[in-house]
Amino acid sequence: MQTREVKIINQGLEDETEVWGYLPCLWKRILVGVGAVFSGGLLLLLLYWLPEWGVKGTCTHTSLRNAHTLLLRTTDEFKQWFRAKVHVMSAPGNKPFDSLDLQSTAQLPNGDGEHGISAERVEHHGKFRQPVQIHYFTHHSTKYYWNDVIQNFELFKGLEDVKVSCASIHSDHSSGLSQTLQDYRRLFFGENEIAVRVPSLFKLLIKEVLNPFYIFQLFSVILWSAEDYYYYATAIVFMSVISIATSLYTIRNQYVMLHDMVAAHSVVRVSVRRGSKDIEQAMSTDLVPGDVIIIPANGMIMPCDAVLIHGTCIVNESMLTGESVPVTKTSLPSSGEEASMSLNMEEHKRYTLFCGTHVIQTRFYAGDLVEAVVVRTGFSTEKGQLVRSILHPKPTDFKLYRDAYLFLLCLVGVAGIGFIYTIVLSIMNKVPAKTIIIESLDIITITVPPALPAAMTAGIVYAQRRLKRVGIFCISPQRINMCGQLNLVCFDKTGTLTEDGLDLWGVQSAEGGRFSPPEADAAKESLVNTVFVACMAACHSLTKIEGELSGDPLDLKMFSATGWILEEPTEEETTLHNPIMPTVVRPPKHSVPEANQNNPLTHNMELSALSSCEIGIVRQFPFSSTLQRMSVVVRRLGEKRMNAYLKGAPEVVASLCKQHTVPQSFTETLETYTRQGFRVIALAHRQLESKLSWHKVQSLSRDLIETNMEFLGLVIMQNKIKEETAGVLLELRQANIRTLMVTGDNMLTAISVARDCGMVRAHERVIIADAAPPKDFHPASITWHDTDNPAQTNKDNQTVEINLEDGVYDKRVTQQEQSYHFAVTGRAFAVITEHFPQLVQKLALKATVFARMAPDQKTQLVEVLQSIDYTVGMCGDGANDCGALKRAHCGISLSELEASVASPFTSTTSNISCVPNLIREGRAALITSFCVFKFMALYSIIQYLSVTLLYSILSNLGDFQFLFIDIAIILIIAFTMSLNPAWKELVWHRPPSSLISGRLLCSVLTQILTCLVFQVLAFLLVRQQSWYETWTPQSDACNVSSSGLSHSRNVTSPHDHKNIKNYENTTLFYVSSFQYLAVAIIFSKGKPFRQPSYKNWPFMLSCVSLYTFVLLIMLYPVPAIDSFLEIVCVPHDWRVTLVIIVIVNAAVSFMLEILILDIILRRLVFRFNQGVNRPAEPPSADTPQEANDRWGSSFLSWLFCRRNKPPRVLYMHLALELQDAADWPPRPSTVTYASDLQSHISVPL
């Protein structure tokens, strides 16, 4: 038997997909055509909804090489199916980067063709070259081309595909492409545009109308029309039209907004280099990877991703990152260690100009042009991938939506029972076949509520509006519900927990291998002209934009503390100097001391006042979060030798300095500052060789510059915690939401800030996991050590006290010992992930501080936390957190922009107070979704019960009764019950995430049983009344005059054959109307997640109005309303009886919901399932109430089969395991080694 060939594309990436090949099959297509005719087109709809069936039902399996149609399935948890058509194009080569020595006059084939198109031939040095037929398909705006070598489809992203090194970019790609080669590459890469096609309204309409829900509605409308329920059918059509129109308007608006955002600057004229000298103007849509473009001096909006090869650019990347601070991009290194590395967009982003970002200005030298090589175009660019993720989002993986479908299937099952019951009953009563078909199908339309999707969406829409009012903008509304389930939030430190702007606390220079006393003012006369301050003034990436200094806040603060002045000479001024120095910094004129000019003691540390004190910045190596440093090459005007200045993380800077220049007390001094929460920057410098010219410096790698430095000292910055931080973190802790810090800062600084803001409490230990990779035959190791704990003594006392307590609670003795946190650096995280995979989840369970984390490591951490079933939130400034913000279940970017594509949520509030606001609204929206779903389910079941009972006497609800129930009661209630705002506090427990949970099922089932009992009771009681008879127009149960009856008879005579008017119908209509309102009020829960319902005045007004109206027409009948609703007159005594039945029904429903579900089940059964992070209560003697609670809990837990039930989420399971582990946490001053024989071995130091 032939095994079916399956290949994987995008292997290892987020959009990894399996691919199968198929060929059209004639006999299968004929069969499907026949089936479509006999099913009235339903088979075609089914194949449209299920692409897998559509392809397998019309095609036969074949190899990918010969396939005409492809079937694709994502490998993630959603397993989505797609179909794609294979196209063929003609090209002179197989790959875009094949070297083609084509004559310029040769005409290239124009690419696209269908199967069987004859290939053109290309003249090649007088010979004819046969073009190649290349198979390709398009999926989610990306083209995949067939590769005969790997026997699979592959994606061409850009210049990175050929693994080109940075040096070869300069040597082989700096002269641009010929027109012919550009045309050839465009065959593969297409036009350079991010094409967001706005679909026509007709296309959108067809797609919307073919939704299964609207098809079901269409079926319902046809059925109701066949039953002459024209009014109700018209109302449903009217609602559907409004719903479809609203949906079309929203979807089209989103497309138009996205199109406008993308198209605003997508087509511009650019200067392109052709060969070494020629420069020509071209449209940006013509660009392909390998083209060399000229960046104009006044800047531009980038139409592609390109890497700088000459010059420097100041770029605003807020469109991508949400960070409005301009960044400096420098040219790609052409020599040194970095130049030999393959080009990688992530690693070399400090040299890359990304599509959609705004180049504010450029710096160019001695007439040299600022040039960049195009690396990616179209949807392959960073911006293109973001737009793709918006156009083709992943389904929201949330249990609520999966359970909603299961619940609907249950309702369909109930409908099936009713369907069979109706058929059997009708056959027994010898009802005509047409009536049997219509009435049995009618049961199905009753059971599945037509307004459910609209009602479910309402709560999210209202929550989105409320969030907008508090400055939180959302581009993914479905994630609002997920925010209600957050149980862990990661925070960036700088700019998120702490103030964005740092204050200079002081400086401490080093001289002769020793630290000088710290100085508070770097601008004082004794310091202002030293090399130390010169380094502070010159080593930065600041620039002037419209006369204002702009750049990183840290750089701005350091520079302003020196009192120096920055000048950017005009192009005319720079020509006076040779070599060119585009940026100059100089001390204020009054600060050049004359007295110290000839003082030998200060000669070494002060810049000579005899020569100019102006310093020209010759070259910048911008700050890299991976390298944790930045440097500049400078030259004092009038001197020939150049200097290099370096600043960065103290540990990194010290490792690059000559050891004798680093003070012996370096480590102790650094720890002193970092333990107090200061942010410390180290400075260093060196004098470069005199033979180095300006041009040589431009091509030197930073590794050659940043070595053998001389240590200058430390700059101590005070990073103040924002006022709101501690309060918000306390609120989250009290709400059982775990908080983590993920920062690029120093470990001890991060721990200090964590203690100061309450993330780590005073009595809690912090264990640093310091991991080292394998080296010289030694395995990888983790060294565990405690940080100094200021509350250590107090903790020990507490432990003694606990030891004196009753032995029943032995497990609680170690509670204080278990109050510990791990702290991990980015370096250690990388080692542990690679060499200690079995420890990663254990560490993630208790780690609170992650320091020196690179951007990609932040994303990895979020994935690890999600792997142990945490619902993860991430809050950052959007600059280097983009990956983590997008990966988290709920990413919040603190940005001034209204919407950032970097994260689903953007807060214009510059502090973390937005996090509890978002969680509160998420919880309220989630509870609202549950309330609405339960209400709509009960509405269907109540109506189903009424109709089923009436079918037993061959009756039904009337057209206007259906209309009144569905429009006046259900729609108004469903849309107003969603208006409850969020509760003002975050409570300890989270709302349930699943509809298929014990409490919710108990709630729904008890209400269904209650409604069933009281409807059956009313149905049977009315038949037992002395005045009861089979109703006829002449019936006079309540002594109404015959004239009124004759009028009624004339009006209702056309409907008599349906047997609508009878005592059972009237009784069930009254009882069920009150039941709808009762369950609405019962299910519309307030505290602890939403404001009480009495504060939702539209809902209360609707309920009171409807209650009053139904009560009035029941007790004091109005003939016109009775006639309209087809209600018959019943005696006043029976009306009073109905009022009693309704009141008892409501009371029983309330008692069951509040007493049994809200008190007994929640408090005694389900409360223990809320999490293991809750601190244990101190043991004490049980009060009688507590003893009763415990016995009640034990009994009910046994009754509900919940005793000794393992936790459903992995992090709880891990926590329970580690509680009993004797070797966890590891003892201080021990080392854990990676071993092939055992999972790990720990030995004391």
Give Cα separations from 787 to 381, 767, 1011, 1233 (angstroms): 45, 6, 63, 21
E strand segments, 743-803: 765-772, 781-786
Out of 183, 403, 442, 492, pick the active-site residue. 492
Instruction: List Cβ<8 Å contacts ≥24 apart for 562-566.
Output: 562/522, 562/523, 562/528, 562/533, 562/536, 562/537, 562/587, 563/522, 563/523, 563/528, 563/587, 563/588, 563/591, 564/528, 564/533, 564/537, 564/588, 566/542
Element (H, E) at 976: helix 972-976
Integer-rounded Cα Rg, in Å, for the chain is 37
Q: Do 1242 and 1231 form a contact (C-beta atoms < 8 A)?
A: yes
> How many Å apart are CA 538 and CA 632, to the nearest integer?
7
Element (H, E) at 1188: helix 1184-1199
Direct distance between the N- and C-terminal alpha carbons of the chain, in angstroms, rounded to an integer: 62
φ, ψ of residue 471 to 5 degrees: the values are 80, 20
- Kindly tell me the burial class for residue 133, based on how many C-beta atoms sit within 10 Å of its own C-beta (0-12, 13-18, 19 or more): middle
Q: Are strands 305-310 and 300-301 parallel, antiparallel or unpaired?
A: unpaired
Nearest to 1168 by CA among 1192, 1134, 1143: 1192
596-619 burial, b at 16+ Cβ within 10 Å, e below that, comes to eeeeeeeeebbbebeebbbbbbbb
Q: Is 358 helix (H, G, I), strand (E, B) or coil?
A: strand
Nearest to 133 by CA among 86, 192, 179, 69: 86
> Can you count the helices (H) and strands (E) in the chain?
41, 45
Three-state SS letters, 818-859: CCEEEEEEHHHHHHHHHHCHHHHHHHHHHEEEEECCCHHHHH
Q: Do 1125 and 964 form a contact (C-beta atoms < 8 A)?
A: yes
CB contact set of 742 (below 8 Å; sequence gap of 6+):
490, 491, 492, 493, 850, 853, 858, 861, 884
Cα dihedral value 852, 854, 860, 862, nearest 10:
70
Q: Do 333 and 702 form a contact (C-beta atoms < 8 A)?
A: yes
Nearest to 781 by CA among 1242, 323, 358: 1242
CB contact set of 677 (below 8 Å; sequence gap of 6+):
719, 749, 752, 753, 756
Cα dihedral value 334, 335, 337, 340, nearest 10:
60
Nearest to 750 by CA among 505, 494, 504, 488: 494
Q: Which residue reads 């199109």 in tokens?
A: 259
Cα dihedral value 871, 877, 882, 885, nearest 10:
10
The residue type found at 525 is E
- Whether residue 1088 is preceded by a cis peptide bond, meaning omega within 30 degrees of 0, is yes
Nearest to 91 by CA among 64, 110, 104: 110
In terms of residues, how long is the chain?
A: 1245
492 catalytic? Reply is yes
Please tell me the number of Cα atoms within 13 Å of 107 on its side-chain side: 5
The vertex-958 CA angle with 952 and 960, nearest 5°, equals 160
> How many Å apart are CA 800 and CA 250, to the nearest integer?
64
The vertex-817 CA angle with 813 and 818, nearest 5°, equals 100
Please tell me the number of Cα atoms within 13 Å of 271 on its side-chain side: 13
Catalytic amino acids?
492
